[in-house]
Structure 1
Amino acid sequence: MKSRLPVPACFTRPFLLFLCWVALVFTSAQASAQVSTKEDHPCAVTRINNTSLLLADGITSEDHRSKMRQYDLHWYKLDLALERNSIDIRGNVILAGSSLQNSLTEFAFELHPNFTIQEVLLDGASCSVTRNGSEVLAALPKALARQEKFSVQVFYAGRAPSGAGAAIGNGFNTATAQPWGQQVTWSLSEPFAASEWFPCKQLLEDKADSVDVWVTTDVSNKVGSNGLLQRITPLLNQKHRYEWKSKYPIAYYLISVAVSNYQEYSFQVPLPGTTQPMLVQNYVYPQALATFKSEIDRTGPFLQLFSEKFGLYPFQQEKYGHSMAPIGGGMEHQTMTTQSTFEFTLTAHELAHQWWGDEVTCKDWSHIWLNEGFASYGELLALENLLPAEKLNWLNRASQSALIQPQGSVFVKDSTVVPRIFSSALSYRKGAMVLHMLRYALQNDAVFFQALQAYREEFRYKVANTRDFQKVVEHVSGRSFQYFFDQWIYGEGFPIFSVFWAQKGNQVFLRSIESSSSAATPFFKTQLEVKISTSVKDTVVVINQEEYTQDLQFKVTGQVLSLEVDPAQWHLEQVKEVVFDPFIAELLSAPVVVYPNPTSGEVRLKGGEGLPEQIIIQDMVGRHIRTFVPTSRTFSLADLGAGAYFLRLKYGESYILQRVVKL
């Protein structure tokens, strides 16, 4: 049996989301609208593709998103004043880009209404501003031609909101980390909360080419952020300025800051195929370093392992590292993850995100499993290679978590609902199990990792959706996986198996009957391993489940002692029962078989010499129901009530007995 173990810390995010969401539902009419049907969402403008309903990748209006698509964003420069015990923000942000219009007259961006906009400048010239909630329009003093480069600078000040709109808490937060008594201020913008602390363009499709983050703060503080620390500039009044720069493309929600009186703990890690070791830079609470040092040190082996499996660490020219903050888990900020604690799977998960989520980012939040499912599978790969004794425990937890959610697709149908985006059962655990099942379906680890690396190469520093990933897998493997992604990503639920078996001499007869947890996906085409333990040896056989009922016959040596379904935990399924049934041996060794079985009405005969002379139908206690002469190999049992029946098929002087289940 698969036992359920506690969910690790990196999956506290959905639980906290749920609590925050409940509070919002009771305090905000707008939030109430977000949990109704998608037709009730004025911002949830839909697009139709050939398989599923997709929603826009944000909660701003479609009109404002359309205006933000009129320019290409190249560079952010944040120059802010922050302290470790306050959510007050003041400073300016430069958004540099180029026009995608023949005549760009308005510049659209987002900034929460808590902040006062003091001035907006286009290349130094003042712009007039109109605001509607977080949506801001700056009227440009001159029209910009297509491809013309520009720089908009926004001066602003205010106190960040506390509406719990981010994946964990707010876009910008302050708290005292316990039990350390450490004051910390940090950002967490995912998915739609970057505007809660800086002026931005919240569209996943437009990554900035680079970012500078400057933070002025008290001299007792250190500031963690993206990229490399260029300098720490001394200032007046016991202040200094941390100046960070990253030259890699970056999605808006991965720009970050963390401010506290940290202790720095850094080291170098050699990576495969490189001549210079890479910096791992960590800002931790001084009192916590002794507690977490050994776990932080695992980052080196993780970097080496993932670089081997996925390809070289994406931001190798800069760094990787961590900034501590009391967030109840981790957030994969590019090149410098924010974590509340350090334990094996959490640290592995957030590092794996640097490939899956940061370098290759989901095209919209409906495909979040490409971030979270892949990073969750990074946990298993780390365990498999570095702590192999824990592999099956992880698979137990992942399967049991996913099985808690018998309905709903991995694909997020309403991507405006933050708790649904970060569903631990669907986006994290089931998403990870999808990759695990794909690895099994490919039957070749080299091809599996080749597909991951090819997907990463094609969409490096870009965005991708599920069908993009599917096409890469199909190209690398030379096989169609349409059925696989249709049932596991766009479909709902999981298969449920009842397995019946019997032994007759050295032959074992096995019947697998599949049902589903969800009517939305009534059948899953899959392969199911069964371990047969005999008095002599163990043998693993594979059931290719192509129909609701699948029969298998094979030879064994010795007396069968037990059967175990999916012993290596390759699949997401529920095993309803494994039953020894001596009748199965007679049924499956018969020259004639009735199928489909179970049936909702019509059945067919296969095998045998011609048609039986007559068919007698009896119930399970032998009572006669009717006798008829068949005119074809297909006939109906639709008039029978639900249950099991015997069919006695007469051929000359002999009878063949078949049992059939009527649904």
Structure 2
Amino acid sequence: MNSSTILRLFFLLLFGLAGAVQSTKAQTLPIPEHECAISRKTATPQPLADGITSLAHRDLMRQYDVHWYKLDLNMERNSLEVGGTVTILATALQDMTQFAFELHSNFTISSLVVNGVTASVNRQGGEAVVALPSTVQKNGNFTVQITYAGFAPSGASAAIGNGFNTGVAQPWGSQVTWSLSEPFAAYEWFPVKQLLSDKADSVTVWVTTDETNKVGSNGLLQRITPLPNQKHRYEWKSNYPIAYYLISVAVAQYQEYSYTVALPGVAQPMLVQNYVYQHPNLLNTFKFQIDQTGPLLQLFSGLYGTYPFYKEKYGHSMAPIGGGMEHQTMTTQSSFNFTLTAHELAHQWWGDEVTCQDWSHIWLNEGFASYSEYIALQNLIPADARGWLNSAHQSALSQPLGSVFVKDSTNVSRIFSSALTYRKGAFVLHMLRKVVKQDAVFFQVLQEYRREFMYSVADTRDFQRVAERVSGLNLQTFFDQWVYGEGYPQVDLTWAQQGKEVVLKTAQTGSSPATPVFVTEVEYLIHTDAVDTLVVLPLRQASEIYTFQVRGSVQSIEVDPAQWLLNTVVSNKQDVTLLQELNSNVVVYPNPTAGRLFVRGGQGPWDEAVVVDLLGRTIKKVSLAHGFLDVPDVRPGPYVLRLKKGGTYSFIRFLKL
């Protein structure tokens, strides 16, 4: 463009201002180094959509609060066999006579001990219920030790494959065994409580394996203990709260490639620890990409707040999973594509530190991480950013039905819908960024959301409440239509020009009948032979007409040129009959106005013209003899211009700035 004129026309959306949604959440901080430390968490009502076991079994699991898992297991790089002892430290939230957990039926339990006393267990499928040797009183602490063994199933119930997997990574020829528990597959390799709402306060992972193997897991490596029979034990420990599906293992003949990164406001550089395949060409292939983790850590720490687990580490364990899985402090990845690495790292904030309260709100994890890909490109590889946005836009448009909110949260394929959860979820954030007007406000929203729910769980209304508080905006309609509603607006655009005036008409239909009309703003870039003008107009009804002035002769009109909106343009054409239609309808402009308001169309001249407030009280009688009215003396706010001719009235809303 040779030059640009910005004409911004904003309309106030009147009536129906909804109050903020209130919610209370317990926040738990990292526990002390003592692995059996107890932190007190507030019990909150839990959603029924959290998990795949029966409601009765979930109710039993909600009777206690997990504080610590210790996994002491045996694994090899080429086998699905798992065995060992898992210890669970918990607090009773009510008087308990039974203890419930989950473990796949492939595994045999050889011993179960509660507070040092052997107990019996009843199992039905993956549900296990223990008859406690004695009642555990409310607020009482107890320990359960479960010794088991077996072979993990291969039913592909996880987001990518199984809860526990083994395979050969090509072309490197490396044999790897790894876990991937999201969303409901942790029970395929260890005894667990699969409810998102109850994060463990800490986790210890010990894995005994062949001495040629390395084992990647959560937190810091405490020691490698030599054992008989050419075995050794990797002993990992994390002192940060962790959701069950983020506990992980990866076993292979790895080589370690690690370095440190300085983060703003952190005294000591933090560790970036990577376990990669032991192949002579591996680091030559991936070193530059792995090194990008450092700038990404610094970027996200600056925008979102300091990396949540900086006192321990961040890093990667390689496995042939065809993508990545954001295991807390040590992501499992098959390669190191820039956007993949950015996505999984962003999950450490969005998903790991702040976790969706139940799987219906998974966009809070995946949509946030996906949009972080775009943010990373904008800041580090800006030439690729628009291409990502175009691709995400097309992906989201490929699913005209269905909501970002997951109505069936037991359907794994729907939970991880690329179009709805990842790409449309990312566009929800992109559009919110536009709605709040300033990047500083947008990132403050994210920082405050992170601060309020760190190491805890949240749902969409929690995020909405924070966004409203920080921005000062009412966002009820925004979240109702873009997260809980379905589809996107499909816009028919027609326009005409008469002298300096341009008439623009929009007609919209929703791609889904569930949300037939969207309320939003749309940018239109008016190309003329003199100057380009950017006009921002509201889209809020099925059909609307707008009039404004431009310099020069209009050559074309671009809809949403910067791609801030999820929408499709069905048609975009010039139509001179709009001029006739305009003359039969009343239009006021500019709206909002600072002082002068022009009136076009209708059946004027008018017998009476009155400015009234929203309660119908007369504010000012005006004259329209010259086709306009002056209201510089009217206080800022929303008003209605009431026009009368004979027995016919016309009412037009406007906003006085």
* TM-score class, shorter: 0.7 to 0.9
Shift of 1:550: 2.2
Deviation string 1:89-128 (CA, Å, 9 cap, x unpaired) is 11010000111123x2211111001000000011221111
Q: TM-score, normalised by structure 1?
A: 0.81
- Which residue among 84, 94, 111 is the counterpart of 1:91? 84
Structure 2: distance between partners of 1:426 and 1:592: 40
Structure 2: distance between partners of 1:311 and 1:295: 23
**Mapping of residues 339-358 of structure 1, within 5 Å:** 339-358=333-352
Provide the aligned C-alpha RMSD in A.
1.8
Decide which moves more: 477-486 or 577-586.
577-586
Structure 2: distance between partners of 1:215 and 1:197: 13
Which letter does structure 2 place at the counterpart of 1:464?
A
Shift of 1:155: 0.3
Shift of 1:592: 4.5
- The answer to whether structure 1 residue 145 and structure 2 residue 141 are counterparts is no
Structure 1: distance between partners of 2:435 and 2:567: 15
Shift of 1:286: 2.5
Structure 2: distance between partners of 1:581 and 1:120: 78
Gap regions ≥5 residues in structure 1:
1-48, 595-604, 612-650, 653-663
Shift of 1:609: 4.2
- The answer to whether structure 1 residue 78 and structure 2 residue 71 are counterparts is yes
Structure 2: distance between partners of 1:536 and 1:153: 78
- The residue that corresponds to 1:320 in the other structure is 314
- Which residue among 208, 214, 221 is the counterpart of 2:200? 208
**Mapping of residues 163-562 of structure 1, within 5 Å:** 163-287=155-279, 288-562=282-556
- SS of the residue 1:382 aligns to: helix
Gap regions ≥5 residues in structure 2:
1-44, 589-600, 608-644, 647-657
Deviation string 1:103-159 (CA, Å, 9 cap, x unpaired) is x22111110010000000112211111101111111121221111111110000000
Shift of 1:606: 5.5
- The residue that corresponds to 1:162 in the other structure is 154
- SS of the residue 1:65 aligns to: helix
- SS of the residue 1:414 aligns to: coil
- SS of the residue 1:485 aligns to: helix
**Mapping of residues 67-146 of structure 1, within 5 Å:** 67-102=60-95, 104-146=96-138
- SS of the residue 1:229 aligns to: strand
Q: TM-score, normalised by structure 2?
A: 0.82
- SS of the residue 1:358 aligns to: coil
- SS of the residue 1:390 aligns to: helix
Shift of 1:478: 1.5
Shift of 1:298: 0.7
Deviation string 1:343-393 (CA, Å, 9 cap, x unpaired) is 011000000000000000000000000000000010010011111111111
Deviation string 1:602-631 (CA, Å, 9 cap, x unpaired) is xxx9563469xxxxxxxxxxxxxxxxxxxx
**Mapping of residues 11-50 of structure 1, within 5 Å:** none
- SS of the residue 2:225 aligns to: strand
- SS of the residue 2:52 aligns to: coil
- The answer to whether structure 1 residue 60 and structure 2 residue 53 are counterparts is yes
For CA contacts below 8 A with separation 6 or more, give which structure has more relative contact order. 2
- SS of the residue 1:158 aligns to: strand
Structure 2: distance between partners of 1:424 and 1:591: 44
Which letter does structure 1 place at the counterpart of 2:146?
V
Shift of 1:583: 2.1
Deviation string 1:401-424 (CA, Å, 9 cap, x unpaired) is 011100001000010111000000
- SS of the residue 2:390 aligns to: helix
Shift of 1:293: 0.9
Say whether the 8 Å CA contact 1:160–1:197 is kept in structure 2. Answer: yes
Deviation string 1:422-461 (CA, Å, 9 cap, x unpaired) is 0000000000000000110111111111111111111111
Q: Which has the higher helix share?
A: 1
Q: Closer, same or farther in 2 for the Cα pair 1:568/1:607, shift >3 Å?
A: farther
- The residue that corresponds to 1:35 in the other structure is none
Structure 2: distance between partners of 1:181 and 1:609: 84
Structure 2: distance between partners of 1:569 and 1:529: 9
Structure 2: distance between partners of 1:208 and 1:99: 14
Say whether the 8 Å CA contact 2:584–2:603 is kept in structure 1. Answer: no
Say whether the 8 Å CA contact 1:72–1:97 is kept in structure 2. Answer: yes
Count residues in correspondence. 551
- SS of the residue 1:384 aligns to: helix
Shift of 1:591: 6.3
Which letter does structure 2 place at the counterpart of 1:73?
V
Say whether the 8 Å CA contact 1:55–1:413 is kept in structure 2. Answer: no
- SS of the residue 2:145 aligns to: strand
**Mapping of residues 544-583 of structure 1, within 5 Å:** 544-583=538-577
Say whether the 8 Å CA contact 1:592–1:608 is kept in structure 2. Answer: no
Say whether the 8 Å CA contact 2:547–2:587 is kept in structure 1. Answer: no
Deviation string 1:232-266 (CA, Å, 9 cap, x unpaired) is 11111111110000000000000000000011111
Shift of 1:553: 1.9
Say whether the 8 Å CA contact 1:55–1:415 is kept in structure 2. Answer: no
Say whether the 8 Å CA contact 1:170–1:189 is kept in structure 2. Answer: yes
Structure 1: distance between partners of 2:447 and 2:532: 36
